[in-house]
Structure 1
Amino acid sequence: MSSINRLCGKIAIVTASTDGIGFAIAQRLAREGAKVIVSSRKEKNVNEAISKLSNEGLDVKGLVCHVSKADDRKKLFDQANKFGGLDILVSNAAVNPEVGDVLDCSESSWDKIFDVNVKSAFLLAKEAVPLLKQSKEGRIIFISSIAGFQPLGLLGAYSVSKTALLGLTKAAALQLGPEGITVNCVAPGIIKTKFSSALTSNEGAESEILSQIPLKRLGDPHDISGVVAFLASKDGAYLTGENIVVSGGMPSRL
């Protein structure tokens, strides 16, 4: 349990937050005092996540939400209104239906990847703005990937979609800065989740990855949640338009 209460009185939406990085983010924001709306495409997953978080005494609500569906996104913001508004949007939902090099990606998979990973992130941010303008400390936080900086061969199209989020962060920060809304992006390295298991499924692959990480360990979802909580709090108030790599030192740029 976090002993920091930086987010008391804040209201947050976290998409794809019933497992892995998203769950850790929702849990951390709630532990720091925020009211958090948890969401996922599957009702069973939502119910299980809400049960875990509620058993901690955290103030959470859960909704089924497929971020590509306008009606589902609207339900998220309607729930935020019932809570009293919105201060923090964390856009975490992403898919990768096809593994392989970028130019081998099928058109259908390319469309699905960009529909969820980029278009839905854009629409969530766009639709959140009216509520965030009413907040004194509005925050938009996109979850990208180190692959957005340094493409991973097996995740070709996915890597390109994550690069797009880096640009969206810069452009939206420029637009929303005068409104007092910060826009930042967190780019995780290789984190121990179901999503990353394709990269770490055998000992040889994990050893190769670890050889590129100075801290010599894979990341934990809570390594990401702490950074997001910082960006969501007053401590991150003068940070906007930044893409923060959290990778244990795995190379991403100069």
Structure 2
Amino acid sequence: MENLPADHFVTSLQFTKHVYQDVYPSIDPSNPELSLAGKVVIITGASRGIGAKGIAPAFAQARAKGIVLVATNAEKLAAVEASLRTINPNVQVLSVAANIADNQSVADLFAKVQASFGHADILVNSAGVNAGGGNIHEEDADKWWQNFEVNTKAAFLLAQHFIKSLPSPTTTRATIVNLVTASAWQVYPFMSGYSISKLAALQLMTHVAAAYPNVTAVGLHPGLVETDMLLDAFKRFDLDSPALIGGLAVWLAASDKARFLTGRVVVSEWSVDDLVERKGEIEEKGLLRVDLKGTFGREQFE
């Protein structure tokens, strides 16, 4: 990758005419049109990285009624909670240290949400791991599988308990945003565990969208952001701001214009205005979904 230009991961994935690497007016969480007043959001991976620096602050700016911060480190969660109160002193913050790969721990999380808020309206799953590394023959099988425990199993448990917690799982309006990665559909042999586990998490959103028309379920590729998960090989490329991902997550949850993206994947740098303009084309052609390329059907051989 040493010969690639610095903007390669922006331009090679470009689907909209305009691209952004920082927050812009249409996804500015302080925009009254994106107000989430009265809404409750659960944010996993909230103690560090994109969750702490981008997503949680954006929902505080959007005046969410309640923000549930979830991670394993209670001390770091407390620091994020304090920072949110400086952004929005009126926000109700619930910090929960939980193992999201454990069913009982997730059940306990949603019991606490119910006791504090009744139910949550939005789930943003920012938690993820990139364990192990190397080509297949070099991988440690247990480390390789750790990716699936957090990136896949936890994503399923969170989505399942979130949907079950809604007043009506099949009619109550809700949003799930699952952070994924471009390597879910591109091939990087040295990170197969991370990539394949995130592909499963992306497809989970497709299945949620098909089963629950009331839930806007979107896979969000956050681009390249400076976090402790960013591999050294990617650090020389143009990086996106955490605020970009936070603003986009708010837009996906707050804007009625975003609903047609359910079951699809979006990339953080894409212009939401351009996406909305291409709504008809995206729906008609079934774009922004993982699919199998080829010409299929018996009739082609008759």
RCO higher in structure (CA 8 A, sep ≥6)? 2
Q: Which residue of structure 2 lines up, in the alignment, with residue 219 of structure 1?
A: 240
Query: 3-state SS of the aligned residue for 2:95?
Result: strand
Aligned partner of 1:173 among 199, 209, 219: 209
Q: Which residue of structure 2 lines up, in the alignment, with residue 59 of structure 1?
A: 92
| Alignment partner of 1:150 is 2:186 | yes
| TM-score, normalisation: structure 1 | 0.84
Q: In structure 1, what is the Cα distance between the partners aligned to 2:233 and 2:75?
A: 27
- For structure 1, list consecutive stretches of 5 or more residues without a partner in the other structure: 211-216
Residue 132 of structure 1 contacts residue 139 of structure 1 at CA under 8 Å; is this kept in 2?
A: no
Residue 179 of structure 2 contacts residue 219 of structure 2 at CA under 8 Å; is this kept in 1?
A: yes
- For structure 2, list consecutive stretches of 5 or more residues without a partner in the other structure: 1-27, 272-287, 291-302
Q: Which residue of structure 2 lines up, in the alignment, with residue 4 of structure 1?
A: 31
Q: Which residue of structure 2 lines up, in the alignment, with residue 213 of structure 1?
A: none
Aligned partner of 1:114 among 122, 135, 148: 148
Spell out the pairing of 1:232-243 with structure 2 (5 A cutoff).
232-235=253-256, 236-243=258-265
Residue 43 of structure 2 contacts residue 69 of structure 2 at CA under 8 Å; is this kept in 1?
A: yes
Paired residue type of 1:20: G
Q: Which residue of structure 1 lines up, in the alignment, with residue 106 of structure 2?
A: 73
Q: Which residue of structure 1 lines up, in the alignment, with residue 61 of structure 2?
A: 31
Instruction: Quote the offset at 1:25 in angstroms.
Output: 0.9
Spell out the pairing of 1:196-211 with structure 2 (5 A cutoff).
196-200=230-234, 206=236, 210=237
Larger Rg: 2
Q: Which residue of structure 1 lines up, in the alignment, with residue 268 of structure 2?
A: 246
Identity fraction in percent: 27
Query: 3-state SS of the aligned residue for 2:212?
Result: helix
Q: In structure 1, what is the Cα distance between the partners aligned to 2:61 and 2:126?
A: 19
Residue 11 of structure 1 contacts residue 80 of structure 1 at CA under 8 Å; is this kept in 2?
A: no
Deviations 1:19-71 (A, max 9, x none): 22112112211211211100111111111111111222243221101211223
Instruction: Quote the offset at 1:225 in angstroms.
Output: 1.1
> Does the C-alpha gap of structure 1 residues 98 and 238 become closer, same or farther in structure 2, counting only changes over 3 Å?
same
Residue 147 of structure 1 contacts residue 159 of structure 1 at CA under 8 Å; is this kept in 2?
A: yes
- Decide which moves more: 220-229 or 147-156: 147-156
Q: In structure 2, what is the Cα distance between the partners aligned to 1:197 and 1:55?
A: 32
Aligned residues: 237
Query: 3-state SS of the aligned residue for 2:36?
Result: coil
Residue 145 of structure 2 contacts residue 193 of structure 2 at CA under 8 Å; is this kept in 1?
A: no
Paired residue type of 1:243: V
Deviations 1:136-170 (A, max 9, x none): 42111111011112133432210111111221111
Query: 3-state SS of the aligned residue for 2:261?
Result: coil
Aligned partner of 1:50 among 64, 81, 85: 81
Paired residue type of 2:98: C
Q: In structure 2, what is the Cα distance between the partners aligned to 1:12 and 1:233?
A: 11
Instruction: Quote the offset at 1:103 in angstroms.
Output: 4.6
* Moved segments of 4+, more than 6 Å: none
| TM-score, normalisation: structure 2 | 0.72
Query: 3-state SS of the aligned residue for 2:69?
Result: strand
Q: Which residue of structure 2 lines up, in the alignment, with residue 41 of structure 1?
A: 72
Paired residue type of 2:206: K
Q: Which residue of structure 1 lines up, in the alignment, with residue 200 of structure 2?
A: 164
Aligned partner of 1:186 among 216, 220, 238: 220
- Decide which moves more: 23-32 or 116-125: 23-32
Residue 133 of structure 1 contacts residue 181 of structure 1 at CA under 8 Å; is this kept in 2?
A: no
Deviations 1:108-144 (A, max 9, x none): 0122111111011011101111223547421111110
Residue 180 of structure 2 contacts residue 219 of structure 2 at CA under 8 Å; is this kept in 1?
A: yes
Spell out the pairing of 1:82-93 with structure 2 (5 A cutoff).
82-93=116-127
